[in-house]
Amino acid sequence: AQTVTQSQPEMSVQEAETVTLSCTYDTSESDYYLFWYKQPPSRQMILVIRQEAYKQQNATENRFSVNFQKAAKSFSLKISDSQLGDAAMYFCAYSNTGNQFYFGTGTSLTVIP
């Protein structure tokens, strides 16, 4: 069975600094997708970034980038130049080609002014 693990329940970062959120997953499949979703206090789930497993190049979206280590089954999110609006719960998610999505337990990120 696929599992997604986020070992950091809470993280904090100083405004304008960089923070890395960790995520590991377990799968026996070779073709899959990985995601980071953000859930601010409004509770609306927002897609932050997406990575296809077959791509070796790490995905980037402006201040957000990932470090995808397929062999280690690791998928960390780096937030650069942190802003107050980045404060939220962050969920790592895995999706296989069989229509299933699996979410980690989440990391609560606090941004300190």
Partner 1 sequence: GAVVSQHPSWVICKSGTSVKIECRSLDFQATTMFWYRQFPKQSLMLMATSNEGSKATYEQGVEKDKFLINHASLTLSTLTVTSAHPEDSSFYICSARAGGQSEKLFFGSGTQLSVL
Please give the single-letter amino acid code of residue 38.
Answer: K
Q: How far apart are CA 54 and CA 61, in angstroms?
A: 18
Binding interface with partner 1 (CB under 8 A)? 33, 35, 37, 42-47, 50, 52, 89, 91, 93, 95, 97, 99-101, 103-106, 108
Q: How far is the CB of 33 from partner 1 (least distance, A)?
A: 5
Nearer to partner 1, 28 or 99 (CB): 99
Q: How far is the CB of 64 from partner 1 (least distance, A)?
A: 16
Buried b (16+ CB within 10 A) or exposed e, 12-27: ebeeeeebebbbbbeb
